[in-house]
Protein backbone atom coordinates (compact mmCIF):
# COMPACT_ATOMS: atom_id res chain seq x y z
CA UNK A 1 0.00 0.00 0.00
CA UNK A 2 0.98 3.62 -0.46
CA UNK A 3 0.20 7.05 0.87
CA UNK A 4 -0.66 9.90 -1.43
CA UNK A 5 -0.56 13.69 -1.24
CA UNK A 6 -3.53 15.13 -3.10
CA UNK A 7 -5.05 18.52 -3.74
CA UNK A 8 -8.41 18.92 -2.02
CA UNK A 9 -10.04 21.10 -4.66
CA UNK A 10 -9.91 18.61 -7.52
CA UNK A 11 -8.36 15.43 -6.05
CA UNK A 12 -5.25 15.89 -8.21
CA UNK A 13 -2.58 13.57 -6.85
CA UNK A 14 0.77 15.26 -6.31
CA UNK A 15 2.81 12.36 -5.00
CA UNK A 16 2.52 8.64 -4.44
CA UNK A 17 4.83 7.59 -1.62
CA UNK A 18 5.64 4.43 0.24
CA UNK A 19 3.60 3.91 3.37
CA UNK A 20 6.66 4.41 5.56
CA UNK A 21 7.73 7.65 3.86
CA UNK A 22 7.94 10.39 6.49
CA UNK A 23 5.62 13.21 5.39
CA UNK A 24 5.14 16.39 7.38
CA UNK A 25 2.17 18.43 6.16
CA UNK A 26 1.69 21.72 8.01
CA UNK A 27 -0.22 24.95 7.58
CA UNK A 28 2.82 26.48 5.85
CA UNK A 29 4.43 23.74 3.82
CA UNK A 30 5.03 20.07 3.30
CA UNK A 31 8.12 17.88 3.39
CA UNK A 32 8.50 14.26 2.41
CA UNK A 33 11.38 11.82 2.07
CA UNK A 34 12.09 12.60 5.73
CA UNK A 35 12.63 16.29 5.02
CA UNK A 36 14.63 15.76 1.85
CA UNK A 37 12.02 17.43 -0.34
CA UNK A 38 10.26 20.66 0.60
CA UNK A 39 7.25 22.37 -0.99
CA UNK A 40 5.85 25.71 0.10
CA UNK A 41 2.85 25.18 -2.20
CA UNK A 42 1.47 22.14 -0.37
CA UNK A 43 -0.21 22.89 2.96
CA UNK A 44 -3.08 21.67 5.10
CA UNK A 45 -5.51 24.27 3.77
CA UNK A 46 -5.14 23.01 0.22
CA UNK A 47 -3.86 19.43 0.37
CA UNK A 48 -4.33 16.24 2.36
CA UNK A 49 -2.62 12.92 2.89
CA UNK A 50 -4.50 9.69 2.23
CA UNK A 51 -3.00 6.41 3.43
CA UNK A 52 -3.70 2.81 2.55
CA UNK A 53 -3.99 3.49 -1.17
CA UNK A 54 -3.06 1.01 -3.87
CA UNK A 55 -0.63 2.81 -6.17
CA UNK A 56 -1.25 2.92 -9.93
CA UNK A 57 1.01 0.89 -12.20
CA UNK A 58 3.03 3.95 -13.34
CA UNK A 59 2.42 7.26 -11.62
CA UNK A 60 3.29 10.74 -12.91
CA UNK A 61 2.01 13.76 -11.06
CA UNK A 62 -0.52 15.96 -12.80
CA UNK A 63 -2.35 13.31 -14.77
CA UNK A 64 -4.00 11.31 -11.97
CA UNK A 65 -6.88 12.07 -9.63
CA UNK A 66 -7.95 9.93 -6.72
CA UNK A 67 -11.23 10.02 -4.85
CA UNK A 68 -12.13 6.52 -3.94
CA UNK A 69 -10.62 5.23 -7.13
CA UNK A 70 -7.95 6.37 -9.61
CA UNK A 71 -8.56 8.30 -12.82
CA UNK A 72 -5.97 9.08 -15.51
CA UNK A 73 -6.25 12.13 -17.80
CA UNK A 74 -5.10 10.46 -21.00
CA UNK A 75 -5.96 13.50 -23.13
CA UNK A 76 -3.43 15.72 -21.37
CA UNK A 77 -0.89 12.92 -21.27
CA UNK A 78 -1.22 12.34 -25.00
CA UNK A 79 -0.92 16.08 -25.65
CA UNK A 80 2.38 16.18 -23.81
CA UNK A 81 3.72 13.05 -25.43
CA UNK A 82 2.84 14.29 -28.91
CA UNK A 83 5.04 17.29 -28.22
CA UNK A 84 7.72 15.10 -26.67
CA UNK A 85 7.85 12.94 -29.77
CA UNK A 86 8.23 15.97 -32.01
CA UNK A 87 11.03 17.62 -30.08
CA UNK A 88 12.86 14.50 -28.99
CA UNK A 89 12.04 14.57 -25.30
CA UNK A 90 11.54 11.34 -23.38
CA UNK A 91 7.84 10.46 -23.15
CA UNK A 92 6.02 10.61 -19.85
CA UNK A 93 4.85 7.17 -18.86
CA UNK A 94 1.68 6.90 -16.79
CA UNK A 95 -0.62 3.92 -16.40
CA UNK A 96 -3.54 3.06 -14.14
Binding site for other proteins (CB under 8 A): 12, 14-16, 31, 33, 35-42, 59-63, 73, 76, 79-80, 82-84, 86-90, 92
Rounded Cα gap, residues 71 and 65, in angstroms = 5
Rounded Cα gap, residues 46 and 58, in angstroms = 25
Considering the complex, what minimum distance in angstroms separates the CB of residue 14 from other proteins?
Answer: 5
Considering the complex, what minimum distance in angstroms separates the CB of residue 72 from other proteins?
Answer: 12
According to DSSP, residue 57 is labeled S
Q: Which conformational region is residue 13 in: left (phi greater than 0), alpha (psi within -120 to 50 degrees), or beta?
A: beta
Considering the complex, what minimum distance in angstroms separates the CB of residue 3 from other proteins?
Answer: 14
> In this complex, which beta carbon is closest to other proteins, that of residue 51 or of residue 91?
91
Q: What angle do CA 44, 22, 2 make, to 5 degrees?
A: 85
> In this complex, which beta carbon is closest to other proteins, that of residue 28 or of residue 51?
28
Phi first, then psi, for residue 57 (nearest 5°) are: -60, -50
> In this complex, which beta carbon is closest to other proteins, that of residue 9 or of residue 40?
40
Considering the complex, what minimum distance in angstroms separates the CB of residue 18 from other proteins?
Answer: 12
Amino acid sequence: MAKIIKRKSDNLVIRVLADDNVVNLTSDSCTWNDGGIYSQDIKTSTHEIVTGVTAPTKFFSGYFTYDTDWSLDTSSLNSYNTMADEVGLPRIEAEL
